[in-house]
Amino acid sequence: MGLQDKKPLWPKRKTYQRNKNFFVALFNAFNGVWIMLSRERNFRIHIVIALAVLWVGIQFHLSRSDWLWVTIAVSFAIIAEILNTIIEAIVDLTVGDRYDDLAKLAKDVAAAGVVFAVMIEFAILAIILQPYLWHWLGIHNLFNY
């Protein structure tokens, strides 16, 4: 389903003007977050993963440097999903409903970027969380450090 197939964002809005000040720009940025949350199912999945990792991190009492890695891992996937949505929107804006090989290439490669980011996210999470997991389970092994 292309982005244009989803319900219109602002059916009545026909014009726009430059952001008058910083707070209007910030409001529009938060509106972008709301658009991602309300329209993009995959983005919601990333947020659920982020909240789950936050909960696990609190339970495991992660060190400061491990929090840093976990934050980078989770943000990486979220930013990839945001870029994917931007690319989908630009492609749909450019080609509309018409089939185009380059449109397919752009969307598929953008999706591949998300898959790659999620693989890195899970690899970092596994590397960082596994010693805490062994400790929590009371298992002592060679992979603790």
Site residues, ligand ATP (CB under 6 A): 1-2, 42, 88, 95, 99-100, 103-104, 107-108, 111
Q: Of the residues 70, 81, 91, 103, which is catalytic?
A: 81
Q: How far is Cα 8 from Cα 26, in angstroms, rounded to an integer? A: 22
Q: How far is Cα 39 from Cα 48, in angstroms, rounded to an integer? A: 15
Active site (annotated) includes residue 121? no
Q: Rounded to the nearest whole angstrom, what is the least distance from the CB of residue 44 to ligand ATP in the complex?
A: 11
Q: How far is Cα 44 from Cα 78, in angstroms, rounded to an integer? A: 10
Q: How far is Cα 82 from Cα 85, in angstroms, rounded to an integer? A: 5
Q: Rounded to the nearest whole angstrom, what is the least distance from the CB of residue 75 to ligand ATP in the complex?
A: 19
Q: Give the nearer residue to ligand ATP in terms of CB position, either 59 or 108.
A: 108
CB of 81 closer than 8 Å to CB of 47 = no
To 10 degrees, what angle do helices 41-60 and 22-39 make? 100
Q: Give the nearer residue to ligand ATP in terms of CB position, either 44 or 131.
A: 44
Query: Residue 113 is encoded by which pair of tokens?
Result: 């970027």
Which single residue is written with the structure tokens 């899970």?
A: 122
Q: Give the nearer residue to ligand ATP in terms of CB position, either 100 or 136.
A: 100
User: Would you say 81 is a known binding-site residue?
Assistant: yes
Q: Rounded to the nearest whole angstrom, what is the least distance from the CB of residue 6 to ligand ATP in the complex?
A: 8
Q: Give the nearer residue to ligand ATP in terms of CB position, either 70 or 110.
A: 110
User: Would you say 18 is a known binding-site residue?
Assistant: yes
User: Would you say 107 is a known binding-site residue?
Assistant: yes
- Sequence-ordered list of residues with C-beta below 8 angstroms from that of 62, at least 6 positions apart, any chain: 70, 128, 132
Query: Annotated active-site positions, please?
Result: 81
Binding-site members for ATP are 18, 40, 88, 107-108
